[in-house]
Amino acid sequence: MSTDPTTVPADLDDAALAAELVHRAGALAAAMRAEGLTGARKTSVSDVVTAADHAAEELVVSVLARLRPDDGIVGEEGAEAPSRSGRTWVIDPVDGTYNFLAGLAYWCSALALRDDTGVVLGAVHQPVTGERWLGGRDLPTSLGGAPLEPLADLPLEQVCLATYLHPTRLADPALREPWLAACEGAATVRMLGSGSCDLAAVAAGRVGVWAQPLVPAWDWLPGEALVLGAGGRTAQVDVRGTTWSVAGRPTAVEQVLSALTR
């Protein structure tokens, strides 16, 4: 897989372009990690950035600027361009950077396309496993090009809940209490450190539901598209002044929303 942005074919449709870009971004980041990287703190010891984050974002931006010049761009690492088309690409070049830098497998490159009515499509590539998800509003979610089975509906008590709450947030009852209420009803809970990997796992039926507060667009939209394309439900709700994002099997989502807002 070439990481040269100029070799991306100009005739790809949006879905194929998204799949190609996350593959290339992930390959570039993985190659840079293999050569050795150091991280810099953003907001905390667990919120870090590396040269690979920046290089992978620059790769995606350069291709989009060439092939979709009228579309807007928003990137986690600061890339920004206004939209003249009403469409915007949202980039997370390395989601799960703490895992990535520590040598863990649970990280990915993620990309979403949104328009004035919401998310259109999302793509997630997990380089260590070689798995690539693609799906969205009018695009049934696939894994490695093979369509996924639509998500069967299950209640919260029968499924795994994936979530995240930074330890420093536990002191805030407005966050801690809803979070504990949601976790208490699940069969089991996982905190793995990559929202897009978590949501891809939800779309694939490996995790039943995902719930997290304070989620930026690049951690939400790629995976939201995958869950919608797999027949799941997604929602964002205000809880005590904070927006929570929830996605997964419909009944489990409804139960999480009830727990968060009770």
What type of residue is 84? R
Residue 2 has pLDDT above 90, yes or no: no
Q: What is the pLDDT of residue 35?
A: 87
Q: Answer whether 27's CB lies under 8 Å from 1's CB.
A: yes
pTM: 0.94
Reported as a single tens digit per residue, the pLDDT across 89-105 is 999 999 999 999 889 99
Residue 42 has pLDDT above 80, yes or no: no
Give domain limits for the chain.
Answer: 14-147, 156-261
Residue 48 has pLDDT above 70, yes or no: no
- Annotated binding-site positions: 76, 92, 95, 219
Judged by DSSP in three states, 138 sits in coil
Q: What share of the chain is helix, strand, coil (3-state, %, to 5)?
A: 40, 30, 30
Residue 46 has pLDDT above 60, yes or no: no
Work out the average pLDDT over 49-65: 93
- Annotated binding-site positions for Mg(2+): 76, 92, 95, 219
Architecture in CATH of 14-147? 2-Layer Sandwich (3.30)
How confident is residue 66, by pLDDT bands cut at 50, 70 and 90?
very high
- Same topology, domains 14-147 and 156-261? Answer is no
Reported as a single tens digit per residue, the pLDDT across 191-223 is 999 999 999 999 999 999 999 999 999 999 999
Q: Answer whether 218's CB lies under 8 Å from 77's CB.
A: no
Partners of residue 110 on adjacent β-strands: 92, 124
- The proportion of the chain whose per-residue pLDDT surpasses 90, expressed as a percent, equals 88
Is 156-261 assigned to CATH 3.90.550.10?
A: no
DSSP class per residue in 65-110: HHH-TTSEEEETTS-EE--SSS-EEEEEEEESHHHHHHT-S--EEE
Judged by DSSP in three states, 187 sits in coil
How confident is residue 47, by pLDDT bands cut at 50, 70 and 90?
low
